[in-house]
């Protein structure tokens, strides 16, 4: 009897995901799909609002990475107020960078501890009563305590630069509204141990070692799970360095050939298309040069380490070289290596935060610059989960007439579908019984990308994911929820 496995929300679908896997009578996979509702509502919501409100309005998209939306919108507004892409004052640009790297630091620490480590430490088949953050604490208490403080440190950086930990107001069109006071700097740079930049860097370096040690002992799992070739896209600095805040758009294919060669992101529409498929609310971005079928790409930590030439801080660069040596310099297409890449970026973020805190430009007083206004602006940043596009057009009254947002989760739409399909064909196919562990492997594939499933709204009663098993007649055979 043909069966349909569904992983879907219990109630409404805003901000939630659904996985459907169809099996035929012989238990072969005939189709797998991953659905998420996209945030198009926000694009309509900002229309008619003044452009300078955009950085504050759009950050409400997310409670985990609001800084990314805040800064992408602010960068678009910079263009509207007539600044060139490098037109900010040194104080404004460095304050924004500090805010952004603080965001990256806290988000990456949270992901490793909250989502990744339970799966790695206990395995996909472990008892769900243990395979969670409490289980991590019981086995690796130091890791858990450190994770809380790593995240807290990143949030304190955000507080010092954005004014608030969540939904801050630090970035404004053309600059920022505050600099960093010496007391704020010293609290982060020289605070009592362990709460200072040097200790955070040390802990981040040890987190990388933790992953590498796990990798050595579990090579088959880490290397083989949901590995598939893809293109990779991200911002890189003009000299090819890893850069989360600003740069040019670069994409490489699965063999490492440049398929998008360091282009100005103001021209992104010339290079990126968005395909609509009838079964999904979320669009499927692709590189126009390669077409819809072959032009899909990954974004996020793995993609960034595949596109950049080097990392401009010493400890992270050393780890980057080890990471690149593993694939002999070729692009890394192994989904679970995203966790490795994420921890290298955590280390890099810590180093950048420390270096920025030592920079006297943060105490500068030129906060805002403005020149001749334009009617259109595009802002890009590398958010923790990948490249984030914000595009606005305004009218003569400064009101937004068009907004186009391509969030990281949308960029990763096809890769997440491929990852789910890999699990369906390599784990579920041919099985006569679907276990908790098998279904958890579907989630592990999704968790590597940490899509924005439930950030916009999460009211009680809304589970991020539920698992339902139906027979060919539509009768419910089994149901699990997260």
Partner 1 sequence: MKVLVVGVGNPGRRDDGLGGALVDRINVEKKGGQAPISREIGACPLSIKAEWKCQLNIEDAQAVQDADLVVFADATTEGEEPATLEEIAPAAQIAVTTHAMAPASVLALAEELYGRAPKAYLLAIRGYDFDIGETLSPQAAANLESALSLFSEFLLSLK
Residue 299 interacts with partner 1 (CB under 8 A): yes or no: no
H or E stretch covering 151: helix 141-162
Least separation in angstroms between residue 447's CB and partner 1 is 7
Residue 151 interacts with partner 1 (CB under 8 A): yes or no: yes
Q: What is the CA radius of gyration of the chain?
A: 22
Q: In angstroms, rounded to a whole number, what is the distance separating the alpha carbons of residues 415 and 70?
A: 26
Least separation in angstroms between residue 169's CB and partner 1 is 15
Q: Can you tell me which of 50, 82, 123, 128 binds partner 1, judged by CB under 8 A? A: 128
Contacts of 35 (CB under 8 A, 6+ apart): 17, 18, 19, 20, 279, 280, 281, 282
Q: In angstroms, rounded to a whole number, what is the distance separating the alpha carbons of residues 311 and 174?
A: 28
State which residue, 43 or 253, has the beta carbon closest to partner 1.
43
The answer to whether residues 413 and 282 touch, using CB atoms and an 8 Å cutoff, is: yes
Q: Can you tell me which of 374, 457, 477, 479 binds partner 1, judged by CB under 8 A? A: 457
Residue 195 interacts with partner 1 (CB under 8 A): yes or no: no
* DSSP E strand boundaries for 97-237: 171-172, 175-176, 231-236
State which residue, 106 or 196, has the beta carbon closest to partner 1.
106
If we measure between CA atoms, which residue out of 322, 319, 332, 339 comes closest to residue 120?
A: 339
Q: Can you tell me which of 459, 473, 474, 475 binds partner 1, judged by CB under 8 A? A: 459
Bridge-partner residues for 379, per DSSP? 390
Least separation in angstroms between residue 62's CB and partner 1 is 7
**C-alpha of 417 from chain center:** 16
Contacts of 95 (CB under 8 A, 6+ apart): 161, 170, 176, 178, 179, 180, 362
Residue 131 interacts with partner 1 (CB under 8 A): yes or no: yes
State which residue, 308 or 444, has the beta carbon closest to partner 1.
444
Helices 141-162/182-189 angle, 10° precision: 170
Neighbours of 325 (CB within 10 A): 9
The answer to whether residues 301 and 341 touch, using CB atoms and an 8 Å cutoff, is: yes
**Within positions 46 to 85, which residues make up the interface with partner 1, using CB under 8 A?**
57, 60-64, 66
Residue 439 interacts with partner 1 (CB under 8 A): yes or no: no
Q: Can you tell me which of 30, 31, 41, 321 binds partner 1, judged by CB under 8 A? A: 41
Least separation in angstroms between residue 206's CB and partner 1 is 18
Residue 166 interacts with partner 1 (CB under 8 A): yes or no: yes
Q: Which two tokens stand for residue 68?
A: 């990314």
Q: Can you tell me which of 30, 90, 125, 134 binds partner 1, judged by CB under 8 A? A: 134
Q: In angstroms, rounded to a whole number, what is the distance separating the alpha carbons of residues 306 and 234?
A: 9
Least separation in angstroms between residue 160's CB and partner 1 is 16
Total residues contacting partner 1 (rule CB under 8 A)?
59
Residue 450 interacts with partner 1 (CB under 8 A): yes or no: yes
By CB under 8 A, which span of 84-92, 108-116, 180-188, 232-240 interacts with partner 1? Answer: 108-116
In degrees to the nearest 10, what's the CA dihedral of 109, 112, 113, 115?
130
Least separation in angstroms between residue 401's CB and partner 1 is 18
Residue 350 interacts with partner 1 (CB under 8 A): yes or no: no
State which residue, 14 or 359, has the beta carbon closest to partner 1.
14
Q: Can you tell me which of 447, 448, 468, 469 binds partner 1, judged by CB under 8 A? A: 447
Residue 143 interacts with partner 1 (CB under 8 A): yes or no: no
State which residue, 315 or 445, has the beta carbon closest to partner 1.
445
* Bond from prior residue into 194 cis (ω within 30 degrees of 0): yes
By CB under 8 A, which span of 149-157, 180-188, 224-232, 237-245 interacts with partner 1? Answer: 149-157
Bridge-partner residues for 273, per DSSP? 286
Contacts of 405 (CB under 8 A, 6+ apart): 39, 42, 43, 58, 61, 388, 389, 390, 391
Residue 113 interacts with partner 1 (CB under 8 A): yes or no: yes
By CB under 8 A, which span of 86-94, 135-143, 322-330, 422-430 interacts with partner 1? Answer: 135-143
Residue 167 interacts with partner 1 (CB under 8 A): yes or no: yes
If we measure between CA atoms, which residue out of 100, 104, 153 comes closest to residue 145?
A: 153
Per-residue DSSP letter, 331: P
Q: Can you tell me which of 91, 155, 332, 410 binds partner 1, judged by CB under 8 A? A: 155
**Within positions 9 to 38, which residues make up the interface with partner 1, using CB under 8 A?**
11-12, 14
The residue ranges that bind partner 1 (CB under 8 A) are 11-12, 14, 41-42, 44-45, 57, 60-64, 66, 107, 110-111, 113-115, 118, 128-129, 131-135, 137-138, 141, 144-145, 147-148, 151-152, 155, 166-167, 443, 446-447, 450-462, 464-465, 482
């Amino acid at each position: 009897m043909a069966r349909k496995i569904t992983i879907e929300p219990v109630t409404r679908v805003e901000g939630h995901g659904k996985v459907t896997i169809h099996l035929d009578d012989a238990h072969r996979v005939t189709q797998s799909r991953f659905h998420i509702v996209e945030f198009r509502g926000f694009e309509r919501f900002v229309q008619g609002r003044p452009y300078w409100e955009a950085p504050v309005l759009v950050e409400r998209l997310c409670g985990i990475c609001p800084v990314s939306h805040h800064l992408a919108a602010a960068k678009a507004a910079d263009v509207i107020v007539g600044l060139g892409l490098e037109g900010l004052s040194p104080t404004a640009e460095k304050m924004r960078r500090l805010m952004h790297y603080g965001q990256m630091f806290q988000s990456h620490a949270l992901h490793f501890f909250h989502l990744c480590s339970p799966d790695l430490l206990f395995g996909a088949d472990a008892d769900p009563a243990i395979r969670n953050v409490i289980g991590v604490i019981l086995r690796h208490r130091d890791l858990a305590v450190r994770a809380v403080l790593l995240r807290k440190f990143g949030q304190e950086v955000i507080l010092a630069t954005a004014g608030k930990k969540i939904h801050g107001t630090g970035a404004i069109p053309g600059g920022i509204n505050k600099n960093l006071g010496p007391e704020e700097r010293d609290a982060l740079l020289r605070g009592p141990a362990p709460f200072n930049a040097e200790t955070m860097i040390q802990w981040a370096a040890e987190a990388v070692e933790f992953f590498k040690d796990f990798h050595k002992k579990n090579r088959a799992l880490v290397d083989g799970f949901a590995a598939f070739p893809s293109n990779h896209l991200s911002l890189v600095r003009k000299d090819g360095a890893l850069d989360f805040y600003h740069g040019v758009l670069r994409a490489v294919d699965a063999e490492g050939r440049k398929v998008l060669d360091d282009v100005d992101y103001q021209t992104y529409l010339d290079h990126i298309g968005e395909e609509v498929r009838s079964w999904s609310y979320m669009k499927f971005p692709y590189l126009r040069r390669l077409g819809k079928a072959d032009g899909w790409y990954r974004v996020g930590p793995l993609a960034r380490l595949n596109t950049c030439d080097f990392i401009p801080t010493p400890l992270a660069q050393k780890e980057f070289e080890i990471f690149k040596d593993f694939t002999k310099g070729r692009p890394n297409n192994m989904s679970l290596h995203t966790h490795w890449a994420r921890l290298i970026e955590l280390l890099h973020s810590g180093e950048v935060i420390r270096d920025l805190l030592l920079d006297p430009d943060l105490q500068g007083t030129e906060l805002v610059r403005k020149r001749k206004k334009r009617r259109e602006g595009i802002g890009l940043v590398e958010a923790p989960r990948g490249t984030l596009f914000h595009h606005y057009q305004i009218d003569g009254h400064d009101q937004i007439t068009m907004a186009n947002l391509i969030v990281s989760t949308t960029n990763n739409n096809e890769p997440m579908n491929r990852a789910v399909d890999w699990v369906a064909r390599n784990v579920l196919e041919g099985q006569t019984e679907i276990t908790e562990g098998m279904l958890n492997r579907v989630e592990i594939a999704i968790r590597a990308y940490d899509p924005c499933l439930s950030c916009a709204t999460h009211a009680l009663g809304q589970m991020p994911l539920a698992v339902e098993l139906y027979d060919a007649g539509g009768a419910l055979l089994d149901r699990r929820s997260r």
